[in-house]
A and B are shown apart, each in its own frame.
Chain A
């Protein structure tokens, strides 16, 4: 068992994490029933247990499958072990792997986190203790919770694949593909909201939803879910020990959340560097850190400091990824018409109805807040362990970190709702390399081997193709919006 070292050496070995989960973050719960997964149910083909999918939908699924299998997104490391359903490591093997990571399972606050801050992050009715964590761990890896018994949380948040699935979008029940990339559960506890559109304010609320999503774990109801485990004597005992209550859905979610609060992975070479060990990262990475704070303009959205170690601002920005989809602006127009065509509450409900009928998933945070400023906006990803949690962006459309840098370097994808903070950066290739090398130093040391493999793999991919690179835009020879307004041809790739 790896001894759990002082996780962050920012200042005299103490990390302080500011209270992030704010009680003031209230979300429109009426939507939760509609958008009940990372991938909104609106985008699902008809129900997985009998209703036929249309030929068009089947074609779309097949196309996504083809793109996914042809993209080199599978992890070389996990291929050494036999694969389970949906490409995940079998849960028994995952449990063995997680033991080796030396996580704290007693309910103590993670080392280096301010106890008061920790308290503000944990709901009063779910203080962590060994019983709750053990229950949550068992549930996290339990495939009985899915309708067909093939999926657990650990399928898409796989210990052997950096607690995600290393796919562009996730695969759920009956091999259906969703629309959104699965965020890693590592460090997820620190976010102020959960899901890429932030519609769940806590881990507890998040845990309830994928289970009920027809294209994820496919259960028709909380009762049906509980029915799969409530007669299990072991679970009955564990639920009583954890919450002094019989098996029930709310406590199931609480327990999973309690387990997820142990998934702290903030012990990276970068932390040693900031604590004073200048040799902990390479000179190129150190240059990358300077660029991160300066010319590359990363820090403001990917906020990284002793009080917020994740590298996120917990906010939602349109960086133009959704605009890569052909119909994005039409969808946005339809949604705005629905919203403003009727008054007030009716307008909001009109948007929800539209979401069920069409594919509004690309509108992101807008579907939750109905704020026009949130169209196409998704939550800023954490940068911790980013080197091993690709592919990148809310739809997994970027294979490598170099692709991500190319995208930002050219000023994102121009669209009417683009965050103005995204602008052409004029970074040279060397500067891009330096930033990427810096980003790779944010991976927890326990995954150093995975990082080395992934660094080499991404380098090889980037050497062959740079689909997002646009030098004319990056160097400001052609400007964003210039093509749209003046018909200027975008410059050479």
Chain B
């Protein structure tokens, strides 16, 4: 019987059936690896996650790592509460969501743009709300947090924006990828004017985002000690590739950064700023966007990566539509399955298998109302 309400699970079944058909042909050792990977991947998923791809994968180091999950909240763009209550309600909703995840994620990533205009009152409000996140939190900075005081208050609250850490055999790097070449001094702008310029996504006066040479050097040194088969996950506010220049969906030195990452077997970049479901793959790097809690961006008129399955056009009546939070399941191999927890919609999972198959396997549900 054909079901009106199918989900991506249907596509998994086809894949699973194909796997089982192929299993008799595998030798015992390979079979054990495959089933172990599948079980590990499934175990790494929580109640909201769909089963991950059943593709057999190379599992050379699977035995030394355990799968885990982390969740994220991003792009909250807070004003003070008595000026804009909607944005506050949304970040509260996201914190409520991540606090109720079962099983609990290992940590929460905050994806940047906590404040809207970089004001102290905005950053402080965000910090106060994030104190209620029950799991450990890793902070990442966005341009809206930075360009009023060039990161002074951010550093006081959250420390240095660039850092790295290891977790369960995966090497994490957090970058400050929204540097801009100085456009404000020649124009004699005040800090407020500078921040206001950067705050406009389509404001052409600002410079394009970049990681910048000093940080690229830091990155090279940091990664020098990491072996090529270690899974690397990079948190960055700007996408670390070039999607649409006019909206700074763009990192000017993306090629250089990608070159530094090239030596690794597998890298995943998780980025903010774009406020939409966004998926890309360049060489050995998978790229996943984060949802905003505050508002959704439309898809850019050009440059959309082919692998991206769009999120359906949001309803302007619902301030939470096209927004949300989410999580990521990291397998024993360090592969990432990204879950978009879109409010008032079904969650959507974009798996590493989808990317590895170049968009053939585990295709997420297509929207019937796309951007146009």
Residues of A within 8 A of B (CB): 25-30, 297, 300, 333, 336-337, 340-341, 343-344, 347, 369-373, 416-417, 419-421, 423-424, 476, 479-482, 484-486
Select one of A297, A372, A476 contacting B346, CB under 8 A.
A372
Number of A-B contacts (CB under 8 A): 91
The answer to whether A370 touches B318 (Cβ under 8 A) is no
> When the two chains form their complex, are residues A486 and B49 in contact, meaning their CB atoms are under 8 A apart?
no
Interface size on B, residues (CB 8 A): 41
Residues on A with beta carbons closer than 8 Å to the beta carbon of B50: 340
Query: Is the CB–CB distance between A373 and B344 below 8 Å?
Result: yes
Do residues B320 and A482 form an inter-chain contact, with CB atoms below 8 A? no
Choice from A30, A337, A344, A479 contacting B12 with Cβ under 8 Å? A344
- Taking CB as reference atom, which chain A residue is nearest B97? A416
CB contact list, B290-345 vs A, under 8 A: 315, 317-321, 323, 343-345
> Are B347 and A423 in contact (CB-based, < 8 A)?
no
A419 to B319, CA, bound (A): 10
Instruction: Mark out the residues of chain B between 78 and 106 whose CB falls within 8 Å of any chain A CB in the assembled complex.
Output: 81, 85-86, 88-89, 92-93, 95-97, 99-100, 102
Task: Give chain B residues whose Cβ lies under 8 Å from the Cβ of A333.
Answer: 47, 102
A-B complex: 5 closest residue pairs judged by Cβ atoms: A420-B320, A481-B92, A421-B318, A26-B4, A420-B318
Our pick among B86, B92, B343 for the contact of A423 (Cβ within 8 Å) is B86
Chain B residues closer than 8 Å to A371, beta-carbon distance: 5, 346
Which residue in B86, B92, B347 is a CB contact (below 8 Å) of A372? B347
- B317 close to A421 (CB less than 8 A): yes
Contacting residues, chain A, for B88 (C-beta < 8 A): 479, 482
CA A173 to CA B314, docked complex, whole Å? 46
The smallest beta-carbon distance between B253 and chain A, in angstroms, is 37
Known A-B contacts A300-B317, A343-B13, A420-B320; A485 and B5 likewise in contact (beta carbons under 8 Å): no
Task: Please list 13 pairs of residues, one from A and one from B, whose beta carbons are closer than 8 Å in the complex, sorted by A's number.
Answer: A28-B5, A300-B317, A336-B48, A340-B47, A340-B48, A372-B48, A373-B345, A416-B97, A421-B317, A479-B85, A479-B92, A485-B92, A486-B132
Q: Decide: B3 and A420 in contact? CB cutoff 8 A.
A: no
The answer to whether A421 and B85 touch (CB under 8 A), given A340-B47, A481-B96, A486-B129, is no
A476 touches B85 (CB 8 A): yes
- How many angstroms between the C-alpha atoms of A419 and B344 in the bound complex? 6
What is the CB-to-nearest-CB distance from A438 to chain B, in angstroms, rounded to a whole number? 20
| CA A25 to CA B96, docked complex, whole Å | 34
Q: Smallest CB–CB gap between A22 and chain B, Å? A: 11
- Determine the residue in chain B with the shortest Cβ distance to A421: B318
B9 at the interface (CB under 8 A from A): yes
Residue-wise, chain B 11-22 has the 8 Å CB interface mask toward A (1 for contact) of: 011001000000
Return A107 CB to nearest CB of chain B, in Å.
31
Instruction: Select from chain A the residue with minimum beta-carbon distance to B3.
Output: A28
Least CB distance, B217 to chain A, in whole angstroms = 40
Closest CB-CB distance, A10 to chain B, in whole Å? 23
- Cβ distance B285 to chain A, nearest Cβ, rounded Å: 29
Q: Is B10 an interface residue (CB 8 A)?
A: yes
Q: Which residue of B lies closest to A341 (CB)?
A: B47
Complex CA gap A403/B3 in Å reads: 39
B126 in contact (CB, < 8 A)? no
B126 to chain A, nearest CB (A): 13
Distance of B341 from chain A, by nearest CB (Å) = 9
Q: Beyond A340-B49, A421-B315, is A485–B16 a contact (Cβ under 8 Å)?
A: no
> Looking at A29, A333, A484, which has the most chain B CB atoms within 10 Å of its CB?
A484
- In whole angstroms, what is the CA distance A336 to B347 when docked? 12
Q: B51 on the interface (CB 8 Å rule)?
A: yes
When chains A and B are docked, how far (Å) is the Cα of A333 from the Cα of B321?
22
> How far is B10's CA from A485's CA once the two chains are assembled, in angstroms?
36
Complex Cα–Cα for A484 and B5 (A): 33
- Chain A positions within 8 Å of B346 at CB level: 371-373
**Taking A28-B3, A347-B9 as contacts, is the C-beta distance between A479 and B129 under 8 angstroms?**
no
**Bound-state Cα–Cα, A416 to B317, Å:** 19
Inter-chain contact B16/A343, CB cutoff 8 Å:
yes
Contacts of B92 in A (CB 8 A): 479-482, 484-486
The chain B residue with its CB closest to the CB of A419 is B344
Chain B residues whose CB sits within 8 angstroms of the CB of A340 once the complex forms = 47-50
